[in-house]
Amino acid sequence: MGHGGDVIAELMTDHQEVEELFANIEELPSGDSRRKTYADQATMELVRHSVAEEAYLYPAVRKHVPNGDAVADRELEDHAAAERTMKDLESCEAEDPQFDILVGKLMTEIRTHIMDEENNLFPQLREACSAEALNDLGDKVRQAKKTAPTRPHPSAPDKPPANKLLAPGVGLVDRMRDALSGRGKES
């Protein structure tokens, strides 16, 4: 799937990619080790996506969208809940009885969040911002995802400036751990 364009197109592409990973999980039988691989890949994508939204999208929502503070705060609450679920899921193997419960919970949380963003937040943002501002945000989000963490860190800051300062260093450590462990790679 191609990335690029304004922030809305970029984030919707991320949403589609995560939904494809969820579909892959749902197609496999309970206990299949590939479910864990796909769950790890989904987590990696979701964490990068969330970090980029928290660094750039939500500050823009606060600034431009009517009642933006309340909207951004609700989105951050959704992220925090999903991040706690991803953290619990991280230590579960596919054959663990908790795995199916946690992955189902994560899918529900993320699908609800995506529906809200695509049906409510994105249209409001498109109405409130110029095409140039949305394109600039798209570039910033793509850059942020390149250095963002790939593992859930529920206690990490989720608001600027602390999140922008810490994310690249944490991201580097996460990517090193992923490379050494083979996390998210198909066997």
Q: In a structure prediction context, what are the per-residue pLDDT tens digits for the chain, which is 187 residues long?
A: 467 789 999 999 999 999 999 999 999 999 999 999 999 999 999 999 999 999 999 999 999 999 999 999 999 999 999 999 999 999 999 999 999 999 999 999 999 999 999 999 999 999 999 999 999 999 999 999 998 877 777 666 566 655 555 555 565 566 666 666 676 777 6
* Domains of the chain, CATH where assigned: 7-181 (1.20.120)
- The contacts found for 101-105 with CB under 8 angstroms, 24 or more apart, are 103/25, 103/35, 103/39
Q: Which residues contact 48 (CB under 8 A, 6 or more apart)?
A: 144, 145, 148, 149, 150
CA geometry: angle at 71 spanning 112 and 167, to 5°?
A: 80
* Entry pTM: 0.89
Contact between 60 and 137 under an 8 Å Cβ cutoff? The reply is yes
d(CA 46, CA 149): 10
C-alpha separations of 55 from 43, 76, 123, 151, 183 in Å: 18, 11, 20, 16, 25
Largest CA distance in the chain: 49
- What phi, psi does 135 have (nearest 5°)? -65, -40
Under 8 Å between Cβ of 4 and 10: yes
DSSP character at residue 56 = I
